[in-house]
Amino acid sequence: MSKQNTPNNLVVSYLTMRKAVGWLGMSLPFILLVGNYFINKCNFLNNPWFITILDNYKYTPAGAWKSSISHYYYSTVGELFTGTLCAVALFMFSYNGHPIRKGDFGLADRTMTFLVGLFAIGVVIFPTSSDNAISDNIRIFLSSKNTQNIHFTFAALFFITLAFMCIINFRRAENVDDFGKGKDDNFFRLCGIVMLVCLILIFSYSFFLKGQEIKWLDSIKPTFVLESVALIFFGLSWLVKGQQMQTTYILKKIRLIKQ
């Protein structure tokens, strides 16, 4: 590999990492929903061609649409849930971004992404619980209330940190005075605000409305819907940021060639 190609390859890999994070975040709710539906529809867990059934066990599937994304941990696609979050965490741990500079406010990119990765791992290690037993739980346990509270804390910190990355870190410029003036900066701010609003609505529903027997509200699985919206905007912000970095890199290369 020549020295001339090395920077370009590094930047391409960096952009690929950003886009991978974006696609993983955006696709997670749909992968879990469709995957669980497909496995249940085909009755794979009761088919001896695919698995060995022990002690005449029979799996009885419930609805493919769970109360929250975290509840898929106990479903047929539990490994997809944990695997995707671990992949996001790995990308975040490997992400350096830009260091903090004089005049910047907030934390450095490296610190923020490390925290996001740490919180994602926390969501995996401490699974959620449920007020009601999960009828199609394929595991032999259900987390306690204490574990559930830890899970909620990590999940909230995960989304809060991502939101502030959009509002602050993604809107930084080479010149400190140009903060928030980029062509995509309003979109990044919107993504961060949407994630925070979704989080507030989830907490409002969980603490004040859940269990009040509001059938129409419970039937639409508001926690799942709001988490999905937050993940979609999280993914979009990273995809747009990846494209912006590519454009910036091309402009820098043009300047370098002219010089």
pLDDT in tens, 193-219: 999 999 999 999 988 887 777 888 888
DSSP per-residue codes, 143-181: --HHHHHHHHHHHHHHHHHHHHHHHTGGG--SSGGGTT-
Region of poorest pLDDT, from 17-21, 170-174, 251-255: 251-255
Domain that holds residue 116: 6-258
User: Residue 31 falls within a domain, yes or no?
Assistant: yes
pTM, entire model: 0.86
User: Residue 124 falls within a domain, yes or no?
Assistant: yes
User: Residue 136 falls within a domain, yes or no?
Assistant: yes
Query: At 41, which amino acid appears?
Result: K
CB–CB of 108/99 below 8 Å?
A: yes
Region of poorest pLDDT, from 101-115, 149-163, 167-181, 245-259: 245-259
User: Residue 222 falls within a domain, yes or no?
Assistant: yes
pLDDT (0 to 100) of residue 9: 56
User: Residue 1 falls within a domain, yes or no?
Assistant: no
List C-alpha distances in Å: 202 to 34, 78, 219, 226.
23, 22, 15, 7
Nearest C-alpha neighbor of 98 from the set 194, 174, 160: 174
pLDDT (0 to 100) of residue 90: 93
How many independent structural domains does the chain possess? Answer: 1
DSSP per-residue codes, 72-110: GGGSTTHHHHHHHHHHHHHHHHH-------TT--S--HH
Q: How confident is the model at residue 115 (pLDDT cuts 50, 70, 90)?
A: very high
Residue 22 structure tokens:
């974006």
pLDDT (0 to 100) of residue 132: 72
In the chain, the percentage of residues whose pLDDT exceeds 70 is 88
Residue 106 structure tokens:
């907030």
| Whether residue 254 has pLDDT greater than 60 | no
List C-alpha distances in Å: 17 to 23, 40, 244.
10, 33, 14
Q: Any idea what DSSP says for residue 44?
A: G
In the chain, the percentage of residues whose pLDDT exceeds 90 is 59
